[in-house]
Amino acid sequence: MYLDADRFALGINRRIPIVDAVWIYERTLRFYEYHKNKNNIIRRCFYSVLLSIRGQRLGFSISGNCFGPGLRINHFGSLVVNSNARIGEWCDIHQGVNIGENGCFQDDKFISQVPRLGNYIFIGPGAKIFGDRLIGDNVQIGANAVVNKDVHDGCFVYGIPKTTREKIRKTSTIASKDFERMFLENIRYIKH
């Protein structure tokens, strides 16, 4: 399901990647996640090394089990996602994005604070999201935006620090319920 959704989000019609480096990376990421969740140590180690090598070539630093199905990485380039971050379904992400932690010490213990992003998210080039933030569903984050506060559902975020424009139109984002509906209607054609 995850691979089919990712392939659909990228607009790829073939199962086996030939030239597309981002699709090859996403397949490796999903294979790593599968074997990590199945606790297959040998294959997990193999795909971990392969993921690291391919990630260094493309400039990606993404740990397993961060993204839901429908991940679309638009360009290779610097892309850093904290291993504890959680991003929902149908995320459209560009280069130069950093989704990181904002740790703090409390009672002599280090507490990691990472963002949680909802479903149908668009993240523009160069956006930075950090700290214990909750980003709602159907949110667009503009280019070079710095998000250091929570964002409600259906908002457009831009600027440094973030400026929010409420209630974006549903048709203005690729990451919408219509996109998921198109995927579900076409899934039988993808599997063949």
Give the tens place of pLDDT for each residue, 4-31. 898 889 888 876 667 789 999 999 999 9
Residue 190 has pLDDT above 90, yes or no: no
Query: What's the rounded mean pLDDT across residues 110-123?
Result: 90
Strand locations in 9-145 (E)? 60-62, 72-73, 79-81, 86-87, 91-93, 97-100, 104-106, 109-111, 116-117, 121-123, 128-130, 134-135, 139-141
User: Looking at the domain 2-190, which fold is it?
Assistant: UDP N-Acetylglucosamine Acyltransferase; domain 1 (2.160.10)
pLDDT at 109: 81
* Structural tokens at position 105: 């010490």
Bridge partners for 117 per DSSP:
87, 135
* Structural tokens at position 157: 């975020």
- Specify the range with the lowest mean pLDDT, choosing from 36-40, 147-151, 180-184: 180-184
**pLDDT band, very low/low/confident/very high, at 188 (cuts 50, 70, 90):** very low
Query: What's the rounded mean pLDDT across residues 142-148?
Result: 90
- For 151, which DSSP code? B
Bridge partners for 158 per DSSP:
163
Q: Could you read off the pLDDT of 162-182 as tens digits, one per residue?
A: 666 665 554 444 445 555 555
Report the C-alpha gap between 23 and 142 in whole angstroms: 24
Of all residues in the chain, the percent with pLDDT exceeding 70 is 82
- For 84, which DSSP code? T
Residue 97 has pLDDT above 90, yes or no: yes
**pLDDT band, very low/low/confident/very high, at 102 (cuts 50, 70, 90):** confident
Closest CA to 143 of 175, 100, 96: 96
Report the C-alpha gap between 21 and 58 in whole angstroms: 8
Domain ranges of the chain: 2-190
CB-CB contact of 101 with 121 (8 Å): no
Q: Could you read off the pLDDT of 70-83 as tens digits, one per residue?
A: 999 998 899 999 99
Name the CA radius of gyration of the chain, rounded.
Answer: 17
Residue 147 has pLDDT above 50, yes or no: yes
- For 121, which DSSP code? E
pLDDT at 12: 86
pLDDT at 173: 45
